[in-house]
Amino acid sequence: MSKITEALQKAAKEREERLRQQQEDKVPPPSKEVPSQSINKKGPPRALPTVPLSPPSITGLDPHLVTYFEPHSPASEQYRLIRTNIQSLNAKNSPHTLVISSSTYGEGKTITAINLAIIMAQDINKPILLIDGDIWKPQVYQYLNLTPKAGLADFLTDNISLESILLPTKINNLTVLPGSKAVSNPSSLLESAKMKHLLTEIKSRFEYIIIDTAPVLAVTDAGIIARETDGVLLVIKANATKREVIQRAQSVLAETKAEILGYVLTHVEHPIPDFIYRHL
């Protein structure tokens, strides 16, 4: 396990323990109206990473969802940077429907998609939709500890309403369209007229749509969906994904005429400075 993963898991455990302790002791959480930093009479609030004022009300979330647990941490700032870069990509017609993919499994697509969706929901006061478009290995619901009754593949194969699969989350402004495994022909489902119709419908309802997908080199899904969107963010696992593998993924996407908007490097190992440890 990497140092960052260990630190995040330790921090999440400690936070849950603090929350449990707080509930047992019936100590009221700090008031939202009076943030604890501004009580500091010695000077202005310090720009240090802080534990969120509202303690996490959803337990069982994956500790890698730093944008939820530590919205002002340096890691969350990196997701914020991705958000601002996306928003400033094209001033007149900036991308609003984004596919998150990578060359292979395990590179951090789903974690990136969720963190980006959370940061957008927190920072942009408009409805954001996160779609789990990986119908081979849907995992968004696990990372967010959701219990969907049905998902994307069910919607595309059965006669169920869109409303019945849209899940509100406890994160303000964030809705999830969960994934479900397709029994047969997963890729052709994504090419169906119903999928196109779905995207048209949700584009009119949500400000930003983030779509997590299966890896580019495993199946054709990412390219198929990307054609109907504004482009792809390609996730790359640092010190793991080989240059030739990335190049193959790039050419597969180019063949499907999907535009690569940018790249996200994950699993970056660097020592965590002391002051961050103090606030984890």
Residues found near ligand ADP in the complex (CB under 6 A): 4-5, 64, 102, 105-111, 139, 266-267
Calpha distance 133→16 (Å, rounded): 30
Q: Least separation, in Å, of the C-beta of 111 and Mg ion? A: 8
Q: Which is nearer to ligand ADP, 53 or 265 (CB)?
A: 265
Which residues contact residue 139 at a Cβ distance below 8 angstroms, ignoring those fewer than 6 apart? 110, 132, 179
To the nearest 10 degrees (0 to 180), the angle between helices 74-87 and 109-123 is 80
Q: Least separation, in Å, of the C-beta of 197 and ligand ADP? A: 26
Within positions 95 to 124, which residues make up the interface with Mg ion, using CB under 5 A? Answer: 109-110
Residue with tokens 């802080």: 50
Residue with tokens 């047992």: 24
Q: Which is nearer to ligand ADP, 139 or 229 (CB)?
A: 139
**Which positions from 131 to 150 touch Mg ion by CB under 5 A, shown as an x/- string?**
--------x-----------
Find out whether 195 and 83 touch, Cβ atoms under 8 Å.
Answer: no
Calpha distance 69→49 (Å, rounded): 11
Find out whether 98 and 230 touch, Cβ atoms under 8 Å.
Answer: yes
- Which of the choices ligand ADP, Mg ion, none does residue 64 contact, using the CB cut-off of 5 to 8 A by kind? ligand ADP
Q: Which is nearer to Mg ion, 15 or 267 (CB)?
A: 267
Q: Which is nearer to ligand ADP, 195 or 233 (CB)?
A: 233
Q: Which is nearer to Mg ion, 51 or 82 (CB)?
A: 82
64 binds Mg ion (CB under 5 A): no
Residue with tokens 């303000």: 172
Q: Least separation, in Å, of the C-beta of 7 and ligand ADP? A: 10
Neighbour tally for 157: CB within 10 Å: 16
- Which of the choices Mg ion, ligand ADP, none does residue 15 contact, using the CB cut-off of 5 to 8 A by kind? none
